[in-house]
Amino acid sequence: MLVEVKISNFRSFKDEVVFSMEPASKNGGKANLMETGFQKVPYVYKTSGIFGANASGKTNVLKALGYLKIILSTGASAKSDDKLASDYYLFAKGYDKKPTCLKIKFLKNCKLYDYEICLLNGIVVKESASFCDFSEKGTKRQKCIFARERKEDGTYAFDLSKGIKKAWSTELIPQRVFLSDLINNRNTDREEVRDIYEFFRKDVVIIGEKSGYFSSVLRKMADDANCRKDIIEFTRNADLGLEDISVKTPPLDEFFKQFDFKEEINETEKKEFFDKIHPIEAKTYHKTEDGETKETPLAQTESEGTKMYLAISDSVLDVLQNGKVLFIDELDESLHPYLVHNLVNLFNKNNTKAQLIFTSHAHYLMDGETLTRDQIWFTSKENGFYTELYPLSDFSERKKEGFYKAYINGVYGAVPNVPEL
């Protein structure tokens, strides 16, 4: 379960901003909250929405998590002449000389974890991991797993807990992420290290550009009959009018009949090309007025909304079933408001510890029920340069029916400043 994210000097985020899934107030009771069983963090929200004008920086919250996933995936294999990816704030002097920092707090396996990493000029200048154990045998005190910080002379100060060898730290080069190095190069059996790594690599799911997900979902449906069955049921519940979906890989010879090649292509080249693009033949089935079933090509006949819903379906089902954290950019893209409401409420009503964090322009979700005041976040560039990130709960209490109207009237900021015509 995600608890908190802190971001500084990353893309449009200049100084540190904080995004939290903890309730900031007691208003509205316990709607959409899940109990953690941990006294230090007793509740977290199941869903949160981030709203704001176009180009205000909403997507950069998701990109920060995506950036961290990339850093962790590449951080164990970097060479001494490599540089880790850099994406610092560009619109003020001196920020190229300041570190980009990401701090994440989350709950996993009865432990509250804190992980921080700071990068500057393509190397790690600070990294730390700690935890509080809330299990029956745990002490509940915060314990350091490891900490490293670069000193002025270019060397590192390390603080290492039991089970992490000193030699591993002395052999670590600045371009490598210690967390990734411990997992991929040292094969550590330290449970807490694996918990942190697996949370970022497996439990955090990010959906940005959805078109690629559409193709991958169709391929998975073609390879996994149970997956296809679950997704069909998911789309039926959304009232998309689909009775069934068939997905298969077409025969190689049939696939190449549609092409008119100027030069002869041998069978080996055909097979390599076929395997590379992995073509899928997908068809949908609808009921006709006389009760029969009509087969149609999915790509040609289904709406963009249906395709978008299919694109996110596998990730949504996986996260709901396995208690993961799902980030979706532009949740309402091409979807009817009823479907958007339904998706958010699937998470609000789930009991698997799954969470949904999304960006959106679906302001109708600010109804005080689908999203309460503590679940509504805004991004704004009122200053014209950097993104400010803040919750609706920063403002004085209003009746829940007034959230949407107040936002449209500019009470909370985070709306475009467009001149009247």
Q: Render 50-93 in DSSP notation, one character per residue.
A: EEE-TTSSHHHHHHHHHHHHHHHHHTTT--TT---------SST
Predicted confidence (pLDDT) per residue in 190-221, tens digit? 999 999 999 999 999 999 887 778 888 988 99
- Regarding whether 99 and 45 lie in a shared domain, the answer is yes
Helix (H, G, I), strand (E, B) or coil at 11: coil
Residue 364 lies in a domain: yes
Q: What angle do the packed helices 304-322 and 211-223 form, to 10 degrees?
A: 70
Residue 343 lies in a domain: yes
Among residues 257, 291, 318, the one where a domain terminates is 318
- Regarding whether 300 and 175 lie in a shared domain, the answer is no
Average pLDDT over residues 359-371: 92
Which of 73, 63, 99 lies closest to 177 in space, CA to CA? 73
- Expressed as residue numbers, the domain containing 79 is 1-208+329-421
Which of 287, 191, 183, 186 lies closest to 241 in space, CA to CA? 287
- Regarding whether 217 and 170 lie in a shared domain, the answer is no
Burial of 308 (0-12, 13-18, 19+ CB in 10 A): buried
Among residues 261, 283, 318, the one where a domain terminates is 318
Residue 324 lies in a domain: no
Residue 334 lies in a domain: yes
What pTM was computed for the model? Answer: 0.90
Residue 323 lies in a domain: no
**pLDDT for position 365:** 94
CB atoms within 10 A of CB 167: 9
Which residues on adjacent β-strands are paired with residue 48? 357
What b/e readout covers 201-238, taking b as 16+ CB neighbours within 10 angstroms?
Answer: eebbbbbeebeebbeebbbebbeeeebbebbbebbeeb
Whether the per-residue pLDDT at 4 is higher than 90: the answer is yes
- Regarding whether 270 and 165 lie in a shared domain, the answer is no
- Regarding whether 155 and 112 lie in a shared domain, the answer is yes
Predicted confidence (pLDDT) per residue in 80-133, tens digit? 999 999 999 999 999 999 999 999 999 999 999 999 999 999 999 999 999 999
Predicted confidence (pLDDT) per residue in 162-188, tens digit? 889 999 999 999 999 999 999 999 989
Instruction: Show contacts of 125-134: CB within 8 Å, 24+ apart.
Output: 125/99, 125/149, 125/150, 125/174, 126/99, 126/101, 126/150, 127/177, 127/178, 127/179, 129/179, 129/192, 129/193, 129/196, 131/192, 131/195, 132/38, 132/40, 134/37, 134/38, 134/39, 134/40, 134/110
- Model confidence band, residue 421 (pLDDT cutoffs 50, 70, 90): very low
403 within 8 A of 392, measured Cβ to Cβ: yes
- Regarding whether 270 and 139 lie in a shared domain, the answer is no
- Regarding whether 199 and 86 lie in a shared domain, the answer is yes
Q: At 352, which amino acid appears?
A: T
CB atoms within 10 A of CB 67: 21
Looking at residue 3, which CATH number applies to its domain?
3.40.50
- Regarding whether 255 and 192 lie in a shared domain, the answer is no
Among residues 268, 294, 318, the one where a domain terminates is 318
State how far the Cα of 167 lies from the Cα of 184, in Å rounded to an integer.
Answer: 16
- Regarding whether 384 and 277 lie in a shared domain, the answer is no
- Regarding whether 363 and 306 lie in a shared domain, the answer is no
Which residues on adjacent β-strands are paired with residue 244? 285
- Regarding whether 198 and 70 lie in a shared domain, the answer is yes
Residue 110 lies in a domain: yes
Instruction: Provide the domain count of the chain.
Output: 2
- Regarding whether 399 and 263 lie in a shared domain, the answer is no
